Each structure stands twice: as C-alpha cells, then as structure tokens.
Chains A and B, each alone.
Chain A
C-alpha cells in the first residue's frame, strides 16, 4: 500500500495528491503565471476575466475574487501556487495562516511563538 492510500485523515490538511492536482490544474496554472509581472498586471486589470482565461470553475473563480484560501485548497489549489497569488495580494505567510485558521494575524503569530517554544 502506498502512503497516499493510507486511510488516516490529517485534520485541517488537504493532501495535494492526484485528485487535487487534476481538479486544480487551471487554478494552479493561473497562479504559476504570477511568476511573471505581465501575468500579475493582467490579473490586476481584470481578475474575473483572467480566471476565465485559465478555465477556472465558478467556485474557484468566486474563491479567487473572495481571497478564500481554504476553498481554493479544497478546490485543488496547491499552497506553493496559492502563495504566489497571496504575494500578488501583498499577503505574507502569517497573513495566510491567520486567514485559514480564523485568527487575527497577531494571534496567529503568537501561536507560532508558542509552538516554537514547545508549549
């Protein structure tokens, strides 16, 4: 049995496996295009139109417009590509962490410190 057939669920975690890689292909491809300034500029001018260019589903498109990271993960977004989207929005990893956990950024940072101290 391969480890991805392991039935254990890791709560609060979406494995970016073959299902997600297929489901999120267009979404991740759009985020991959944010490596280039041209892609970032084009997205900023017309966010919805840019989503359509990459064939995003309506759920994905709405989640992009709403900056809803949790839905984007469930709809096949890879955090490595969503991070490029977050960067475009001028959000850092603590901002993203706060968005996903429902904490304020300060609360999220405090949790990191607490975890880092092994408490």
Chain B
C-alpha cells in the first residue's frame, strides 16, 4: 500500500515564474506571496514524498481545442516543458512514475472515469510553476510526478462534484498500489479570478477564504456549487477550484491543516496556500 502523506494547494500563474527568474521574491509586491512557501518547502524536504500526483489544467500547450479531454492522466517516464509563447523560460524535464500512473489510470477507468491516457504530454506552467515554487532553482529532479489534467478551458467542464469523485477514486487507487512509496498531492490553480471580458479583475476574498476552510473541514460542501455558480461568485477562471477539490477528494483519511497563507492580488488572482497532513485510513 502506497502511503499518501499530505497535500498542498498553490496558484500556478506564469507571472510567478517570471518573478522567480528575475529574483523579485523579496520585493514588496511579491514578498507576502512567497512568504507562504517556506513552511511547505520544509515539510516536503523533511517528509520526502517519492511521488507527487499533481492536479492542473493545460493552458493550450499540450491540448488544443481540436481534441479536448475532460480528464487526462500522464503515464510517461518523463514530461517535457515547452514554449508557451509568453516569454517564460522553459525548465528541465519532469520525471514521471509510469507504474503508479498506469495503476491509477486502470483503476479510474474501472470506476467509470473515461480518462485520456497520455504516453506523451507536454506540461505547461500549470504543472511546472508549482514544482519551481516548492523546489527553488528547479531542484525537483528527485521527485516523480504524475500529471492529472482537468479541463478548465472549454465548456462543458467537469463540475465540482465530479472532480471530488475523481479525487476519491485516485485516493483509492493510491491506497491499493502495492508499494511502500510515499505520495503527496498538489492541487494547483484556483482561486477567484477573471481574465476575460468587461468583468476582468474580479477577486472575491471572502469566497476564497471560505473555500479554503471548506477544503480542510468539509469538501463535500463545495459540491453544492455548479461551474456557473463558481463563475458568478469568483470569476470566469474560478472553476480552477475544481483542481483543489479533486486533490482533496483523494485524501480519504484524517486531514490536519499544518499551514495556510492567503494573499491577493497576485497577478489577477486570489492566491491561497494550504499544507494538509494526511493519515491513511485504518
């Protein structure tokens, strides 16, 4: 049984990559954001997960709208980052964990999730920014990563309830994997923001804080929202909360909040960090 030890939430904005590349972490704008990460880095360095299952959304690097998977999972030994067209530097390849990936994919399809299973997958800032944030200097080569990609780009998108169910199925698959490896989860993207239209710039601090509370104590409660509710309350891109909800669904045992940070705005977004410790169900 693989051991699921905890989970982290974080934003994955391209501007974060540029801020790190330009060493702006200590500037007044960025400091309250980056101050949220040292406790998470410390926990990761002390607990040394072998594998990260990372929930993110593709922003038009691997998937164009010619074919748009609702849920996809990488099953490769390695993933390449590539030019996204915004001037952010590409970063070193990410190591995969194909055996556990295939085990999760098999289990998900068995449970009724019709995954797109990817033996090749270019990974964009949605996946790489969180890795750079957790291991500054892109020192993430020792960690194996399993990308789980959720459509947040083109409607119809999977809804919160479905994402929570996806997470539950992934948690069950990790528990049933015959290995002593340790696994942590990253839920990336979120919280409230809107990039497009006359309503661009919306941030709903109160809603963000409520979502963070509910993610710890009562994730089922977040399934009362439809995607349209999320858009209305938190902005067009608030549907990225679905990645955090999916992540939380995979934590099936006792969950303890070890650390939290919330800061807004970063770029156009409310940015929340949670570090959750997880005890496997007995």
Contact = CB atoms under 8 A, between A and B. Distances in A.
Interface of A: 2-4, 6, 8, 10-18, 21, 25, 28-29, 31-32, 34-37, 40, 69-70, 73, 78-84, 87-88, 92-94, 96-97, 100-102, 108, 111-113, 115-118
A35 B84 contact: yes
Which among B85, B154, B194, B263 has the highest number of chain A CB atoms within 10 Å?
Answer: B85
Interface of B: 15, 59-61, 64-66, 82-87, 153-156, 159, 194-206, 226-228, 231-232, 236-237, 263-265, 267-268, 270
26 contacts: A3-B226, A6-B226, A8-B232, A12-B197, A12-B198, A12-B200, A15-B155, A16-B155, A17-B154, A18-B155, A21-B154, A28-B64, A29-B64, A73-B197, A79-B195, A79-B196, A79-B236, A83-B59, A93-B195, A96-B195, A96-B200, A100-B200, A101-B200, A101-B201, A112-B265, A115-B265
Contacts of A40: 85
A79 B202 CA distance: 15
B201 A111 contact: yes
Contacts of B232: 8, 10
Contacts of A34: 85
A100 B197 CA distance: 6
B15 A14 contact: no
Contacts of A111: 201
A2 B199 contact: no
A35 B60 contact: yes
A54 B215 CA distance: 43
Contacts of B154: 16-17, 21, 78
Nearest to A99: B200
A97 B268 CA distance: 9
Interface of A is mostly: helix
A101 B84 CA distance: 26
Contacts, number: 142
Contacts of A12: 197-200
Nearest to B59: A80
Which among B196, B199, B205, B237 has the highest number of chain A CB atoms within 10 Å?
Answer: B196
A4 B197 contact: no
Contacts of A32: 60, 64
A78 B156 CA distance: 14
Contact of B205 (A87, A94, A101, A115): A115
Given A6-B228, A21-B154, A73-B196, A116 B15 contact: no
Contacts of A115: 201-205, 264-265
Nearest to A113: B265
A37 B84 CA distance: 10
Contact of A84 (B84, B153, B202, B226): B84
Which among B61, B87, B195, B227 has the highest number of chain A CB atoms within 10 Å?
Answer: B195
A90 to B, nearest CB: 8
B231 A13 contact: yes
Contacts of B231: 10, 13, 15
A70 B63 CA distance: 24
Contacts of B85: 34-36, 40, 84, 87-88
Contacts of B228: 3-4, 6, 8, 10
B16 to A, nearest CB: 12
Contacts of B84: 35, 84
A15 B155 CA distance: 7
